Amino acid sequence: MASTLNAAVSLTASKSSSLPATSCAIAPDRIRFAKGAFYYKSNNVVTSRRVVSVRAEVTTTDTPPVKKVEKESKKNEEGVITNKYRPKEPYTGKVLLNTKITADDAPGETWHMVFSHQGEIPYREGQSVGVIADGIDKNGKPHKVRLYSIASSALGDLGNSETVSLCVKRLVYTNDAGEVVKGVCSNFLCDLKPGSDVKLTGPVGKEMLMPKDPNATVIMLATGTGIAPFRSFLWKMFFEKHDDYKASEYSAWLFLGKPNLIFVVVINYLQEFDKMKAKAPENFRVDYAISREQANDKGEKMYIQTRMAQYAPELWELLKKDNTFVYMCGLKGMEKGIDDIMVSLAANDGIDWFDYKKQLKKAEQWNVEVY
């Protein structure tokens, strides 16, 4: 904002004397004349000999404020709802289905569950919901909310936008004292029977939302139950009809890492993926990394980064494109392994991988949700 002070100045002294009225443009913090500077406070200007009365008229010229340019998100965020239901006022849903999807001899149990929400929890692919287990904790307070990635598309497994599905591993372990410890919320969920009530919160999260560009290449990296958000992606892409996502336009590549090939019964995720590949063989690729059952040419266990290393040059070329989006969900440790294979690839092009990854994150092309 520019300010101009137009002043008529007269000098008053003990003797009768005057100066003709003078008009000048001055800065708002000081008055300058040819013979010196007169500093002012309020309406009086103090000089070494006399007081100068200033009668001023201020005119202001407004400069339009600089508008902040809003960054346009590359993700499909339009209309996304978050935190409709909070821990103090959760939504009570009903269990429609809860079934174990791991073989009896698998190391651990994973369950697929479907809850009815009657359209009251309008989530998007890539979001999460919270669950509050029944009962109280050791301090006599209600259990805290636990977040789980949603494993169904926005339409839900029944296609009516009234259900939400989760993929949950039952947490059971032995602590240092030799005691068997059971995770409160995971065991609560895995033990639920159809018809039971379940307290839900959310939906929450925008980190894992699908890209807006239907022509994007979507690379999905999952370990364990980190497959949940990608099942939601893939259902939307290949099992449903949407104007913004058509199987003939985009490309999806899934890397799934597991200790054992455990998704083998009832609701079989692997069979779903096979159907997707058959439906759009040119647009969907899936590679498994089964660490206890597979090895690479060097005899090394097949972790997710080991499998990705077999396609490293191709993956690096994809990461150079501005319509490639990487999503990572699962165990935190896998990110380091992926970094390790990318460092040398980027270096071959004279690029620092970690600096480049920061750029990808800023552009919303590198998305991580690990635990």
Note the pLDDT tens digit of each residue in 180-220. Answer: 999 999 999 999 999 999 999 999 999 999 999 878 999 99
Higher pLDDT, 166 or 301: 166
Calpha distance 211→323 (Å, rounded):
9
How many CB atoms sit inside 10 A of residue 164's CB?
26
CA–CA separation, 234 vs 82, rounded Å? Answer: 22
**Distance (Å) of CA 8 to CA 30, 45, 54, 130, 198:** 15, 13, 6, 71, 79
Q: Is 369 a catalytic residue?
A: yes
- Told to judge if 272 belongs to the known catalytic residues of this protein, a careful annotator would answer no
Whole-angstrom CA distances from 276 to 151, 323, 352 are 16, 22, 36
Asked if residue 264 has pLDDT above 50, the reply is no
pLDDT score of 157:
96
Residues of CATH 3.40.50.80 domain(s) within the chain? 217-370
How does 78-89 read in b/e, with b if 16+ C-beta sit within 10 Å? Answer: eebeeeebeeee
Residue 45 has pLDDT above 60, yes or no: no
Q: What is the pLDDT of residue 61?
A: 55
- pLDDT single digits (tens) 236-249: 999 998 877 766 56
Q: Is 329 a catalytic residue?
A: yes
Active-site annotation holder among 128, 190, 329, 364: 329
Residue in 98, 99, 100 with CA at minimum distance from that of residue 262: 100
Which of these, 156, 163, 149, 77, lies nearest to 120 by C-alpha position? 163
Q: Does domain 217-370 have CATH number 3.40.50.720?
A: no
Angle at 207 between CA 341 and CA 365, to 5 degrees: 45
148 among known catalytic residues: yes
| CA 51/CA 36 separation, integer angstroms | 15
Q: Which CATH number fits domain 91-204: 1.10.3720.10, 2.40.30.10, 3.40.50.1370, 3.30.413.10?
A: 2.40.30.10
Tens digits of residue pLDDT in 120-150: 999 999 999 999 999 998 899 999 999 999 9
Q: pLDDT tens digits, residue range 151-183?
A: 999 999 999 999 999 999 999 988 888 899 999
pLDDT of res. 284: 92
Across 20-46, average pLDDT: 40
Interval 244-264 mean pLDDT: 71
109, 125, 364, 369: the active-site residue? 369
Residue 230 pLDDT greater than 90, yes or no: yes
Is 303 a catalytic site residue?
A: no
Q: Report the pLDDT value the prediction gives residue 42, as an integer from 0 to 100.
A: 41
pLDDT of residue 184: 95
What is the pLDDT, as a whole number, of residue 23? 40
The Cα 58–Cα 64 span in angstroms is 19
Residues of each annotated binding site for NADP(+): 149, 169, 225, 291-292, 301, 330-331, 369
By the 10 Å C-beta count (0-12 exposed, 13-18 middle, 19+ buried), 187 is classed as: middle
Q: Is residue 115 a contact partner of residue 151, using CB atoms and an 8 Å limit?
A: no
Peptide bond preceding 90: is omega within 30 degrees of 0, i.e. cis?
A: no
- Spot the catalytic one: 85, 123, 148, 269: 148
> What pLDDT does 39 receive?
39
CB 260 within 8 A of CB 278: no
pTM score, two decimals?
A: 0.77
- Annotated catalytic residue: which of 116, 128, 149, 251? 149
Per-chain mean pLDDT for the chain: 80
Looking at the chain, which residues constitute the CATH 2.40.30.10 domain(s)? Answer: 91-204
pLDDT value at residue 296 = 59
Residue range 318-368, pLDDT digits in tens? 999 999 999 999 888 788 888 888 898 899 899 999 999 999 999 999 999
How far is residue 47's CA from residue 56's CA, in Å, rounded to a whole number? 18
**166: nearest Cα among 112, 121, 124:** 112
pLDDT in tens, 280-299: 888 999 888 766 555 656 66
- Residue 329 makes CB contacts below 8 A (sequence gap 6+) with 149, 208, 220, 221, 222, 223, 226, 227, 228, 229, 230, 368, 369, 370
What pLDDT is recorded for position 193?
97
